[in-house]
């Protein structure tokens, strides 16, 4: 879990995308290592924690924790655009291998990743909230059992 001034969050995603035309660009160790380092720098700069990363010959996978102030689309766009610009500067020959002169294919894969929270937990919580005593706004989801009243919930520090 991460804390912000007024938020408690854990937003993890498995994201992936491919080079244009699914070319095997990352057979080249120097290029793969360069992209790896660029991704690490982007993660630090944009407060995106990279928990796992693989750069295969024709695609990339990242397990990332993204702050709720950023959308997945923004993060992927940032990784793709900055890395493309930097790759073309450092490895000008790569652009010649790509007919349209774009490094990355349009689109990406994304799947949210949970830590003990299942769709069923959340759905059950929402569907049964009226059966619980008290105002639903005063309840919180406790993944280990029944929802607890707000008075039992630790407060976040004032920011």
The catalytic residue positions are 125
| Helix/strand number for the chain, H first, E second | 4, 8
- Helix, strand, or coil here: 106? coil
Lookup result for tokens 């993060």: 75
Q: How would you classify residue 105: left for phi > 0, otherwise alpha for psi between -120 and 50, otherwise beta? A: beta
Overall residue count recorded for the chain in this entry: 159
- Rounded Cα gap, residues 130 and 136, in angstroms: 7
With residue 109 as reference, give the H or E element that holds it: strand 109-113
């Amino acid at each position: 879990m991460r804390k912000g001034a007024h938020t408690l969050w854990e937003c993890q995603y498995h994201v992936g995308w491919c080079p244009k035309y699914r070319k095997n660009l990352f057979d080249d160790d120097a290029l793969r290592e360069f992209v790896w380092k660029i991704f690490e720098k982007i993660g630090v700069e944009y407060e995106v924690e990279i928990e796992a990363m693989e750069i295969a010959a024709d695609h990339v996978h990242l397990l990332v924790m993204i702050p709720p102030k950023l959308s997945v689309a923004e993060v992927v766009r940032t990784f793709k655009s900055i890395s493309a610009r930097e790759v073309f500067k450092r490895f000008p020959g790569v652009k010649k291998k790509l007919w349209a002169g774009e490094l990355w294919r349009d689109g990406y894969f994304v799947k949210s990743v949970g830590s003990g929270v299942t769709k069923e937990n959340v759905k059950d919580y929402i569907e049964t909230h009226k059966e619980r005593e008290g105002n639903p706004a005063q309840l919180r989801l406790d993944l280990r059992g029944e929802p607890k009243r707000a008075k039992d919930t630790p407060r976040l520090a004032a920011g």
